[in-house]
Amino acid sequence: MLSLTPSHIIEYLFCPRFSYFEYVLRIPQYEGKFYKVRRGRAVHQQKTTRNPLYLRKKLGVLEKYTNQYLTNELLRGEVDEVLLLADETMAPLDYKFAVYEDRIYDTYKTQLYCYAWLIQTHFGAEVNKGYLVYTRSRSKVVEVSITNENISSIQQIAQKIRKIIQQNRYPKATKYKKRCVSCSYRNICIR
Ligand code: SF4
C-alpha cells in the first residue's frame, strides 16, 4: 500500500515532477541548493530538550501525547506533540530548531496541515490550529490556523501523487522556472 510522508507533499509543492522522477523512474534526487534549504527547514530539524509544563500553562492544554507516529490511508508521519485543548479540539505541535523570523515558511505550514489530517483520522477530533515552537528564539510559540480547506488541499495533493506513482502519470512542471536552475533533474526534464 502506498504510504506518503509530509516530505512527498512538500516535494510535490516544489515541483510535481519530483514525484515522477523520484518515485516512478526511481532516479535519486541530488538536491539543488534552493530546494534543499527549503526542505531542510521543514523536515530535518534538530529537536531539543522540551519542557513539558510550560505548554499547559501557556496554551491551556488538557492532555499531551508526545512523539505520535500516525498513519491514515495515504499519509504517515510522526508528530512531536498532539495536544488536546480545552474546547476538545486537538492541535499538532512541532518543534523547530530555528530562529523565528517574523514569517512562517510555507513548508512549516504544510507539515502542520499534514499532521492535522493525520490527527483527524487517528483521533477523530476536530483540528483548527497548530503550533510551532522556535527553540532558537527562546522557545517562542507561534499559532498557525488550520482550515478544512488547508487539510483538503493536502488530501488532493496526496491523491495526485498517488496517481503519478501508481498510474505512471507525467505531471506538469512547476510554474516557477527559477527552481529549474539548480534542479538535479534539469537534464532529463523537458520543459
Ligand atoms: S527541471 Fe524544473 S520542472 Fe523539471 S523537475 Fe526540476 S524543477 Fe521541476
Pocket probe for ligand 1: among 17, 23, 33, 176, the residue whose CB has the most ligand atoms within 8 Å is: 17
Q: Does residue 78 belong to any structural domain of this protein?
A: yes
For the chain, the farthest-separated pair of C-alpha atoms sits apart, in whole angstroms, at 54
Q: Does residue 190 belong to any structural domain of this protein?
A: no
Pocket probe for ligand 1: among 27, 174, 182, the residue whose CB has the most ligand atoms within 8 Å is: 174
Q: Does residue 48 belong to any structural domain of this protein?
A: yes
Q: Does residue 158 belong to any structural domain of this protein?
A: yes
Q: Does residue 187 belong to any structural domain of this protein?
A: no
CA–centroid distance, 98 to ligand 1, in Å, is 28
CATH number of the domain that residue 151 is part of: 3.90.320
Q: Does residue 139 belong to any structural domain of this protein?
A: yes
Please give the grid coordinates belonging to residue 113: 496541515
Q: What is the pLDDT of residues 18-27, one digit of tens each?
A: 999 999 999 8
Number of domains in the chain: 1
Task: Give the residue among 73, 88, 76, 72 at the shortest CA–CA distance from 6.
Answer: 76
Cβ of 179 below 6 Å from ligand 1: yes
Whether 145 contacts 162, CB under 8 Å: no
Please give the grid coordinates belonging to residue 159: 491523491
* Residue 39: per-residue pLDDT: 53
The domain in which residue 147 lies consists of 6-180
pTM metric for this prediction: 0.88
Q: Does residue 150 belong to any structural domain of this protein?
A: yes
CA–centroid distance, 182 to ligand 1, in Å, is 9
Q: Does residue 173 belong to any structural domain of this protein?
A: yes
Q: What is the pLDDT of residues 37-95, one digit of tens each?
A: 555 455 445 554 555 566 667 788 999 999 999 999 999 999 999 999 999 999 999 99
Q: What is the pLDDT of residues 95-113, one digit of tens each?
A: 998 999 999 999 999 999 9
Atom of ligand 1 nearest to the CA of 183: 6
CA–centroid distance, 184 to ligand 1, in Å, is 8
